[in-house]
Amino acid sequence: MLEILQPDGSLAGEAPFSVDETKRLYAAMVSARTYDTKGTALQKQGRLATYASFEGQEAAQVGGVSALRADDWVVATYRDAAAMWMQGYPWANLFLGRTGDERGGSPPEGVNVLPPSITVGAHMIHAVGLAWGENHLGRDRVAMTFFGDGATSEGDFHEAMNFAGVFHTPVVFLCQNNQYAISTPRHRQTASETIAQKADAYGMPGLQVDGNDLFAVGAAAAEAVTRARAGGGPTLIEAVTFRVGPHTTADDPGRYRDESEEVEWRQRDPIDRVRRYLEAAGEWTAEWNAQLEAAASAEIEVAIGQAEALEPLGPGEIFDAMFETKTPQLDRQRGILMGGPDE
């Protein structure tokens, strides 16, 4: 397992980022956690439907996307708001999506991020297709897809990995092994010793990294993206991390895991680790941190305001989101919902 930045903030290898870049990524992780904390609070106030916290997974997401160019693709899940936001998906859209409003799924023109996949695993195929398409168009864009340990048990994972391996599509598979798929622990998910080793079967490199280590994830992602862009094909990265919160706001982890696990993983918090590193280099102060938190909080409050200021959609409009031209079946369903006859 690749480890560079230790929990105490010391280095066990070469830092892949300059101090300035490290500070930029630290600030991004602070923003991500601010969003995450507010997401859970808003759900408890009844302002979001359900919310899936990614607390503890900030380094895996921010570190992964740090390797991408602005025109690369991110194809991710309900738990990957930090990755999506890093690639340009607005906070307001992310909030809106969590209220059940389909407009949250339409990012601004030019943002190459698909809406979050709720269907476990299905989106990995889309990432491979996008990467293949870019290749056919003669462009050197890369697609990075985020998914959990549970998603590797889906047939879609096999299909996506197999196709990517055979056709050398420029795609990076970034598995956040956060140890649980709702209540199913990692050891019940697969008999493989690691998730990374599954790459062997598909003819691509696989690498296991400490997912709470911004530097390890960043270095592994940069290598994989560089290879993909140069025509070297796909890579599977297993970022070993932990979901310290519940699966979603509808879950009670106390029913299937011991609290000591959470306590232990909190000692390896990805943000604290970078803070200790920067502090030792004389580049972190409590004042700077407070400024970052205040700026993130203000920006995210504006986004919540934008999302909540929209006129709610009417019931018939839920049918408009999927296709540019509605199918006859959707037209019929819409008619029934709006009080027409069920013919």
Ligand X SMILES: Cc1ncc(C[n+]2csc(CCOP(=O)(O)OP(=O)(O)O)c2C)c(N)n1
- Is residue 151 involved in binding ligand X (CB under 6 A)? yes
Cβ nearer to ligand X, comparing 16 with 56? 56
Provide CB contacts within 8 A for 69, sequence distance 6+.
Answer: 141, 142
The residue whose two tokens read 């911004």 is: 214
Region of residue 280 (phi > 0: left; psi between -120 and 50: alpha; otherwise: beta): alpha
Q: Least distance from C-beta 243 to ligand X, angstroms?
A: 6
Q: Kind and range of the H or E element at 237?
A: strand 235-240
Q: Is residue 192 close enough to count as binding ligand X by CB under 6 A?
A: no
64 to 93, contacts with ligand X by CB under 6 A?
Answer: 79
CB of 257 to ligand X, least distance (A): 12
# binding residues, ligand X (CB under 6 A): 15
Give the residue closest to ligand X by C-beta. 148
Residue 7 has φ and ψ, to the nearest 5°, of: -55, -25
Query: Of the candidates 264, 255, 209, which has an alpha carbon nearest to the alpha carbon of residue 236?
Result: 209
Can you tell me the distance from the alpha carbon of 36 to that of 4, in angstroms, rounded to the nearest whole number?
Answer: 26
Residue with tokens 């462009």: 139
239 vs 292, which CB is nearer to ligand X?
239
Q: Which of 33, 79, 98, 243 is catalytic?
A: 243
- The CB-of-186 to ligand X minimum distance in angstroms stands at 8
The one catalytic residue among 247, 268, 273, 275: 247
181 counts as binding ligand X under rule CB under 6 A: yes
Q: Is 190 helix (H, G, I), strand (E, B) or coil?
A: coil
Q: Is 202 a catalytic residue?
A: no
Residue 89 annotated as catalytic: no
Residue 119 makes contact with ligand X by CB under 6 A: yes
Distance CA 3, CA 13 (A): 8
> Two tokens at 340?
């027409």
Q: Residue type for 216, please? A: A
How far apart are CB 77 and ligand X at their closest, in Å?
A: 6
257 labelled catalytic? no
Position 148 contacts ligand X (CB under 6 A): yes
Catalytic residues: 243, 247, 256
List of residues contacting ligand X (CB under 6 A): 79, 118-120, 147-151, 178, 180-182, 243, 247
